[in-house]
Every structure is written in C-alpha cells, then in structure tokens.
C-alpha cells in the first residue's frame, strides 16, 4: 500500500448524494478474481450509455478532471452492499482521497484499509468545495495527514479527524498484511518453537 502523508492534486466534483457501491463498481464485475484493473469499471453505468458511448456530462468523462486524485461527493458516500471492490475501483482509477459529509460505515473501513484517505467535512464546506471544483479551472486541494488539514490556494482551509491507528497505517503504507509482516520474526520464532514442541510430544 502506498504511503500517504501530504497530497496536492486536482479535485473532481461528483455532486451526488447516496452514491452506493453498486454504482461505484457494478455487480457484474465482482466475478473477477484479480484485485487490479477495476478502475476501468468505476462508475461504469454513469460513465457510458447502454450502447457503450461515453456520457459527455459525467464528471470523469470531462477532460477538465483528467488525472484527478481527489473526489468530492455528497453525503452517505459508499452506501449499499459491503463490497471491498468499491475501494479497489477507486484506488485503481487513481483516487487517493474522497471528501464527503458522511460515509457508509463498512465502506469507510474498507477504503482506508486500501490506502484511500476519507475526509469528513460539513455539508456547507463540501458544497463550497464542489462549487470551487466546478468553477475554478484546474482546481487543486492539499490534503495533509500530518497536520489533519485540507486547503486550497483560494483561502479555504479546514481540519478533519482520522482514527490515530488508521492514520498511522496510512502514513506508513501498511495494510492488514503489511501490519502482520512487521512481526514476521516473532511469528517465525513462535512457529519454530511450536513445531519443535509438537515433534517432542509425538515422540
């Protein structure tokens, strides 16, 4: 998992509430056995028409937001079924941070375990950021996990909260496997002792 300390990047405005996980990554793509490549299917049903043509007015099809790494959205982002693929799709596409007033609980956990920083701000603050991203060309935000702040070059600055343990994991680039591997020496020593004790008992 890539470390996250401070990110300054283009922000894309998804001015929708109750964005559910079936819209983030539709169910037909859950049959894939890989953990990569889901970015191509992010918001699949919103990005194209049933006959496969791009929807011109959808934000991710707008050239102004090409290569955005920060997504701004309405409240209750990530609601619906508890598919980890939703976090994979966002991360595979290139998003490192999602800003919204509220997030669904399971998505909140899944996303941060996959290296995505979730920033909860007030509805008024999110509305301001949506407006800025829609009207200011090349609008960028700076998200700092070190200072727990989000700011732009136009006078906006706000603080946000992150669970201390999850903040540590994000800044160190540690997912659950990475956390376990930090203790590999102790685990190997235990397994060696356990195998030796089992062999002695068998005798």
Predicted confidence at residue 83, as pLDDT, reads 87
Instruction: Name the DSSP class of 32.
Output: -
Q: How far apart are CA 149 and CA 158, in angstroms?
A: 6
Predicted confidence at residue 110, as pLDDT, reads 92
Predicted confidence at residue 40, as pLDDT, reads 92
Q: pLDDT tens string for the chain (203 positions)?
A: 889 999 999 999 999 999 999 999 999 998 877 778 899 999 999 999 989 899 999 999 999 999 999 999 999 999 998 889 999 999 999 999 999 999 999 999 999 999 999 999 999 999 999 999 999 999 999 999 999 999 999 999 999 999 999 999 999 998 766 666 665 666 666 677 755 656 556 55
Q: How far apart are CA 27 and CA 10, in angstroms?
A: 29
Claim: this prediction has a pTM higher than 0.75: yes
Q: Are 148 and 86 in contact (CB under 8 A)?
A: no
Q: Give me 189's structure tokens.
A: 């020593």
């Amino acid at each position: 998992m890539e470390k996250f300390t401070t990110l300054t990047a283009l922000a894309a405005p998804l001015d929708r509430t109750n964005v559910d996980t079936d819209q983030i990554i539709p169910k037909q793509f859950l049959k894939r056995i890989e953990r990569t490549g889901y970015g191509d299917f992010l918001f699949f049903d919103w990005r194209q028409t049933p006959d496969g043509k791009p929807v011109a007015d959808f934000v991710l099809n707008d050239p102004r937001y090409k290569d955005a790494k920060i997504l701004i959205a309405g409240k209750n982002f990530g609601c619906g079924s508890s598919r980890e693929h939703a976090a994979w799709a966002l991360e595979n596409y290139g998003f490192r941070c999602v800003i919204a007033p509220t997030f669904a609980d399971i998505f909140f956990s899944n996303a941060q375990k996959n290296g995505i920083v979730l920033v909860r701000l007030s509805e008024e603050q999110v509305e301001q950021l949506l407006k800025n991203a829609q009207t200011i060309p090349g609008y960028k935000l700076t998200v700092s996990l070190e200072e727990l702040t989000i700011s732009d070059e136009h006078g906006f600055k706000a603080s946000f909260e992150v669970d201390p343990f999850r903040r540590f994991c994000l800044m160190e680039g540690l997912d659950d496997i990475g956390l376990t591997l930090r203790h590999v020496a102790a685990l190997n020593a235990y397994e060696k002792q356990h195998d030796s004790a089992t062999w002695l008992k068998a005798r």
